[in-house]
Copies of this chain bind each other. A is one copy, B any other.
Amino acid sequence: MTQRAPRVGIIMGSTSDAPTLRKAAEMLERLEVPFEMRVVSAHRTPDLLFRYAEEAEARGLQVIIAGAGGAAHLPGMVAAKTVLPVLGVPILSHALHGLDSLLSIVQMPGGIPVGTLAIGDAGAKNAALLAASILALHDAPLRERIQAFRAEQTRAALESEV
């Protein structure tokens, strides 16, 4: 957890989701975006979920990244309780390999949006990048850091040999 007031809240349904969501944390650290990360379970701690969502804006959070697997209700229920942008990361589930997680997150009804990323690690990393690109609309230095990351990523791809 960074020391400055967090601008992004990363929440997950279970500690078993942490290895995935850490990809989001690492990307935010690289981009120097302050964030917090904690377990908020839609099913085991529903009251905490509501409180977290209700207080997020006042606490200074600007984007919420929520990861969950299986019948993944966390991102959608957070979105139901805040007007902050909510990004959902489907966790790679055991039986159905994240297809259940993906559909549970992305197929939200009209009226309550969740911006959904890819299943698993790539999705977590991209949730952080999308959160950063949202914050960068009013944070020029952050936009430069994103552009530097993108340029570095492009350079690495250009140099890769097969």
Interface residues of A (CB under 8 A from B): 12-15, 18, 21-23, 37-39, 41-48, 50, 62, 69-73, 76-77, 79-81, 83-85, 87, 92-100, 102-122, 125-127, 129-130, 133-138, 143, 146-147, 150, 153-154, 156-158, 160-162
Contact = CB atoms under 8 A, between A and B. Distances in A.
Given A95-B120, A96-B107, A106-B71, A80 B112 contact: no
Nearest to A101: B107
B103 A100 contact: yes
A108 B70 contact: yes
A33 B127 CA distance: 24
Contacts of A143: 83
Contact of A113 (B41, B93, B95, B130): B130
Nearest to A128: B113
Tell which of A12, A69, A81, A85 has the most Cβ of chain B within 10 Å. A85
